């Protein structure tokens, strides 16, 4: 199946479900629901309905071979992040990745380790 990046348009709720599936690898609706319930008040039937819609959209794959359906993310985490980040940079930061980075680092305290990773990335980009 060809993956078309234009089709990567998960809603905020769908992204939360994808995060759970990316972390777990595969999961039942119940397991995903338990993950979501840690941070928000959501009904099981809502999670089930969302995952059925995501299956129709091609965002998740479903294994029907067992009594309990097991789901997996059908979209790649990195590709989805890149796509959504690109849209965010265009829509919120006038196409400027610099503005995004300044905003992100200005608002959130980065750890020493994160700053070293960022510095290594910058050094790498300068040397290309």
Domain ranges of the chain: 10-73, 78-127
Containing 61, the helix (H) or strand (E) segment is strand 60-63
Q: How confident is the model at residue 3 (pLDDT cuts 50, 70, 90)?
A: very low
Q: In the chain, what is the greatest distance between 2 CA atoms, to the nearest angstrom?
A: 54
- Segment 11-28, tens digit of pLDDT: 899 999 999 999 999 999
Task: Tell which CATH architecture fits domain 10-73.
Answer: Orthogonal Bundle (1.10)
Average pLDDT on 44-68 reads: 93
Average pLDDT on 51-64 reads: 94
Reply yes or no on whether the pLDDT at 2 is more than 50. Answer: no
Average pLDDT on 46-51 reads: 96
Instruction: Give the range among 39-48, 69-78, 107-116 with minimum mean pLDDT.
Output: 107-116
Average pLDDT on 31-58 reads: 95
Residue 30 CB contacts under 8 Å (≥ 6 apart), including other chains: 44, 68
Q: What are phi and psi of 10, to 5 degrees?
A: -70, 145
Can you tell me whether residue 114 is helix, strand or coil? helix
Reply yes or no on whether the pLDDT at 5 is more than 50. Answer: no
- Segment 91-116, tens digit of pLDDT: 889 888 888 888 888 877 888 898 89
Reply yes or no on whether the pLDDT at 85 is more than 60. Answer: yes
């Amino acid at each position: 199946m060809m993956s078309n990046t234009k089709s990567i348009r998960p809603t905020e709720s769908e992204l939360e479900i994808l995060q759970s599936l990316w972390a777990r690898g595969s999961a039942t609706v119940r397991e995903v629901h338990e993950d979501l319930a840690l941070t928000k008040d959501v009904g099981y039937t809502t999670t089930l309905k969302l995952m059925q819609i995501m299956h129709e959209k091609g965002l998740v794959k479903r294994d029907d071979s067992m009594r309990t359906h097991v789901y997996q993310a059908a979209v790649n985490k990195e590709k989805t992040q890149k796509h959504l980040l690109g849209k965010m940079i265009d829509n919120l930061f006038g196409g400027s990745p610099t503005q995004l980075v300044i905003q992100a680092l200005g608002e959130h305290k980065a750890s020493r380790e994160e700053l070293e990773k960022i510095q290594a990335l910058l050094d790498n980009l300068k040397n290309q």
